[in-house]
Amino acid sequence: MVGLGPAGFVLLGLEILTPGGFYVLFFGVGAVVVGVLAGLGVSGPSWTQWLIFSVVSIVSLALFRGPLVRTMDTRTSPEAIDALESEIAIALEDLAPGAFGKAELRGTSWSAQNVDERAISRGARCQVTRVDGLMLRLRAESSQGGTP
């Protein structure tokens, strides 16, 4: 069963070609370990090699897959949306206090709510105080006088 060594390298290469599940990698490691042991002549009979392959693969999968997936996680963090707070948006319509409407921020139209006590007129600059999903909570910019 010396063929498990090269098969292990094939499995390791296959992991590179598959999208990040990190499953095949650990079976490749198990196959390489058995191949090395067989090459050294200490792997024993065929059933022992299969047992070593299974144990090494499953134990390494259980111990190392979780930390590896967390390390390789490339999704953007939730803080990315929170970075919009205190940005300046432009009102696309008149917004009375508490009213809902539209505002432009970073070239995109957003749903918005005026959470200020002052009205925000169309085209006025306003500050984002909070982001709730796709809704911007806005206040009139401090230098803006607002309309009564």
Q: pLDDT tens across 16-73, in order?
A: 777 667 778 888 889 889 989 998 999 889 999 999 999 999 999 999 888 888 887 7
Decide if pLDDT at 85 tops 50. Answer: yes
Torsion of CA 69, 71, 72, 73, to 10 degrees: 80
DSSP annotation of 41: T
CATH architecture, range 79-140: Beta Barrel (2.40)
| C-alpha span between 25 and 28 (Å, rounded) | 5
Write down the pTM of the prediction: 0.46
CA dihedral over 113, 118, 119, 123, signed as positive or negative: negative
Residue 148: the pLDDT is 43
Q: Position of tokens 């792997």?
A: 43
Residue 76: the pLDDT is 56
Decide if pLDDT at 117 tops 80. Answer: yes
| C-alpha span between 125 and 39 (Å, rounded) | 72
Residue 145: the pLDDT is 45
Calculate mean pLDDT across residues 84-107.
91
Q: Indicate the domain borders of the chain.
A: 4-72, 79-140
% pLDDT > 90, the chain: 41
**Confidence at 125, pLDDT banded by 50, 70, 90:** very high
Decide if pLDDT at 138 tops 90. Answer: yes
Residue 4: the pLDDT is 65
Decide if pLDDT at 74 tops 90. Answer: no
Write down the mean pLDDT value for the chain: 83
